[in-house]
Amino acid sequence: MQKVALRFNEVAFSYGNLAVLEDVSFHIHVGEFIALVGPNGSGKTTVLKLILGLEQPNQGTIEIFEENPRKARDLIGYVPQHASYDPTFPISVQEVVRMGRLLPRSRHYNAADVKAAQEAMEQMEIADLSQRAYSALSGGQRRRVLVARALAANPQLLILDEPTANMDAESESRLFRSLGTLKRSTTILIVTHDMGFVSSLTDRVLCVGDRSHSGRARTVVQHRAEPVENPPPDFFGGEVLKVLHEITLPEDACCADEHHAEENHHG
Amino acid sequence: MDSFIEALFNPAFPFLRNAFIAGILSSVLFGVLGAVVTVKRIAGLAGAISHAVLGGIGMALYLSATKLVPWMSPILGAIIFALLAAIIIGLVSLKAKQREDTVINAVWAIGMSIGVLFMAKTPGYTDPTSYLFGNILLISTRDLVLLAILDAIVVFLTWRFYPQLEASSFDDEFSRVRGIRTDVVFLILLSITAIAVVLLQTFVGIVMVIAMLTLPAGTAGYLARNLAGMMALSWLFATVFSVSGLMVGWTLDIPVGATVVVIAGAVFLGSAGARLIRNHVVKRNNRPTQQISAKEPRIS
């Protein structure tokens, strides 16, 4: 059986009296490329915050490489939708990327940190921008800087929040080309409100938003995705899968063999 | 100018020397702390704290003049109110974002009102003007010592925690993901700012402290390439503004605090204007090429 990178076990979460998530159980195997989709307001961001250890579940457990999310933070690379930054903040691309190696108490970035930042910049094809001011970059370039910042920590699990929002088609296909080179060596989780299509790199689609059994909150289910003819060319460089929201797969579909999964979905 | 330098070394004017040293010491806080206040965008919070300080000053004047608490000095009252205001504002802005504005303005106004009420009931004549607008005649040696201590603390903490400070100012959420307690950073920063505001008001006054915490840093932000550069430049600017303000104020016999702020403001607005014009020109020259590269998707 494949190793598990991330596991949600019967997780429930609420903000005060407002139940957001309930009965959330899913897992991601090491090396998988997963899309976590859901409409705005479905609890997607909450799932993300739970994974990042910014919120704690009220019930259930979350394990990242069999660790508590707070302990596993060095294994995670996080790419926010945009850095909540002030456009007048003076900082260079290299300094932003180096931030990926930041530790809670250390005052120094050592030679290994500088090397890792350099490699991450080369990986994301922004090495030539390293001395440029972050504020002078285009939206697509900034996104690649933020991906490089996440990669600088050599993460086992790379999480990207809405990576294609406000991005032009060229930057988008360039980003997914880079992600393609990371596939298998790094577990990748993409969080997006784009419900219809996902990149063809995607192994499985998890969907936040269905009602839980009690009907009070949302839960996470797995949907089937399949290649489409005549895909829209400006999505992910034209290599897309269509998400079939009407077909829900059982939670362990990824662990069972293909034949077993098929049976479940027809039955 | 010659007369200013002469007066500076004239033993008959010890207060001028004190004011000069206060200007030099204040510049460290205006520059380094001001850069952080500016990039963290907490200037509004610092403004509320600095005005609330008047309440503490009024309370202290009343308590000492009426002999209720004879040892209560204005600076102690000010520090108590400043820290109280910092804690209230800090917790509200961490816990209840939607009420932040209301609470900040309430702390600002209530603090000042308490000050006015206490001063009205204080026996003898009390003039809030010197606290509001600064009075270099009132700077004591103790103020200078306290300023120097706070300078050392701020410079040390900035040096020691620079990467964490840089990251939490640039991207708070990412810093939290990396394990930085950004809430603790924020509360410590707010408390230090509160005490700084109290010590700095002797030089420029309550009303103008916030201008000096933002104008040199804002001007430096236009030129600096990173936060450390912004701090250093801002420090340099603050020193130039403070010394030249003191010199002009002394020579023309006008209030020093206000002069310093006017000089800092003029330079800031001048640089902002220059930048606006430059950006406009650059944009116009670049327009055609930029549009092509942004719009045409490359199909490979």
b (16+ CB within 10 A) / e for A14-31 = beeeebbbbbbebbbbbb
CA dist list (Å): B180 to A102, B38, B54: 9, 20, 34
- B25 Cα to chain A: minimum distance (Å): 25
Give the model's pLDDT for residue A249.
Answer: 79
- B1 Cα to chain A: minimum distance (Å): 36
DSSP for B89-108, please give it: HHHHHHH-GGGHHHHHHHHH
For chain B, strand residue ranges (E) read none
Set of chain B residues whose Cβ sits within 8 Å of the Cβ of A133: 225
Set of chain A residues whose Cβ sits within 8 Å of the Cβ of B230: 90
CA dist list (Å): B222 to B40, B199, B216: 16, 28, 10
Is B47 part of a structural domain of the chain?
A: yes
* Contact state of A102 with B171 under an 8 Å Cβ cutoff: no
CA dist list (Å): A35 to A246, A256, B55, B174, B177: 17, 20, 56, 21, 21
Residues 116-175 of A with CB under 8 A from B: 133, 138, 149, 168-170, 173
Asked if B97 has any chain A CB less than 8 Å from its own CB, the reply is no
Distance in angstroms (rounded) separating the CA atoms of residues B63 and B65: 6
Give the model's pLDDT for residue A84.
Answer: 63
Asked if A228 has any chain B CB less than 8 Å from its own CB, the reply is no
* Contact state of A84 with B294 under an 8 Å Cβ cutoff: no
Q: Which two tokens stand for residue A6?
A: 């991330």
Indicate if the alpha-carbon torsion angle B192, B198, B203, B208 is positive or negative: positive
* Closest residue on chain B to A135 (Cα): B225
Q: What angle do CA A68, A72, A73 make, to 5 degrees?
A: 125
Set of chain B residues whose Cβ sits within 8 Å of the Cβ of A105: 164
- Give the DSSP H/E element, type plus range, for residue B190: helix B182-204
Cβ atoms of A113 and A101 closer than 8 Å: yes
Give me the percent of chain B exceeding a pLDDT of 90: 72
Give the model's pLDDT for residue B105.
Answer: 93
* Contact state of B300 with A76 under an 8 Å Cβ cutoff: no
Distance in angstroms (rounded) separating the CA atoms of residues B219 and B236: 11
Q: What is the CATH number of the domain that holds B69?
A: 1.10.3470.10
N residues, chain B: 300
Count other C-beta atoms under 10 Å from residue B54's C-beta: 27
Domain of B200 in residue numbering reads as 2-295
Pairing assessment for the beta strands A76-79 and A204-211 based on DSSP bridges = unpaired
Confidence of residue B292 (pLDDT cuts 50, 70, 90): very low
* Maximum mean pLDDT: which of A44-58, B229-243, B274-288: B229-243
| Region for residue A43 given its phi and psi (left: phi exceeds 0; alpha: psi -120 to 50; beta: otherwise) | left
- Give the DSSP H/E element, type plus range, for residue B154: helix B141-160
Asked if B162 has any chain A CB less than 8 Å from its own CB, the reply is yes
Average of per-residue pLDDT across B228-243? 97
What ipTM does this complex have? 0.86
Place of tokens 């034949």: A259
Q: Which two tokens stand for residue A173?
A: 């296909």
Is B176 part of a structural domain of the chain?
A: yes
Is B70 part of a structural domain of the chain?
A: yes
Is B300 part of a structural domain of the chain?
A: no
Is B186 part of a structural domain of the chain?
A: yes
Cα dihedral angle (A83, A85, A91, A96), rounded to 10 degrees?
Answer: -20
| Region for residue B82 given its phi and psi (left: phi exceeds 0; alpha: psi -120 to 50; beta: otherwise) | alpha
* Contact state of A53 with B172 under an 8 Å Cβ cutoff: no
Q: Is the pLDDT of residue B194 over 90?
A: yes
Q: Is the pLDDT of residue B293 over 70?
A: no
- B293 Cα to chain A: minimum distance (Å): 9
CA dist list (Å): A37 to A6, A202, B98: 16, 12, 29
- B198 Cα to chain A: minimum distance (Å): 27
Size of interface A-B (CB pairs under 8 A): 94
Q: Which two tokens stand for residue A91?
A: 């900082």
Distance in angstroms (rounded) separating the CA atoms of residues B51 and B36: 20
- B211 Cα to chain A: minimum distance (Å): 18
Is B152 part of a structural domain of the chain?
A: yes
Which of B177, B226, B297 is the closest to A54 by Cβ? B177
Give me the percent of chain B exceeding a pLDDT of 70: 95
Q: Which residues of chain A have pLDDT under 70?
A: 1, 83-85, 231-238, 256-267
Residues 235-254 of B with CB under 8 A from A: none
- Give the DSSP H/E element, type plus range, for residue A161: strand A157-161
Substitution target from B157, B173, B177 for chain A, most A beta carbons within 10 A: B177
| Region for residue A166 given its phi and psi (left: phi exceeds 0; alpha: psi -120 to 50; beta: otherwise) | left
What's the domain count of chain B? 1
* Contact state of A149 with B174 under an 8 Å Cβ cutoff: yes
Burial of A132 (0-12, 13-18, 19+ CB in 10 A): middle
Higher pLDDT, B284 or B257: B257
Asked if B171 has any chain A CB less than 8 Å from its own CB, the reply is yes
Confidence of residue B215 (pLDDT cuts 50, 70, 90): very high
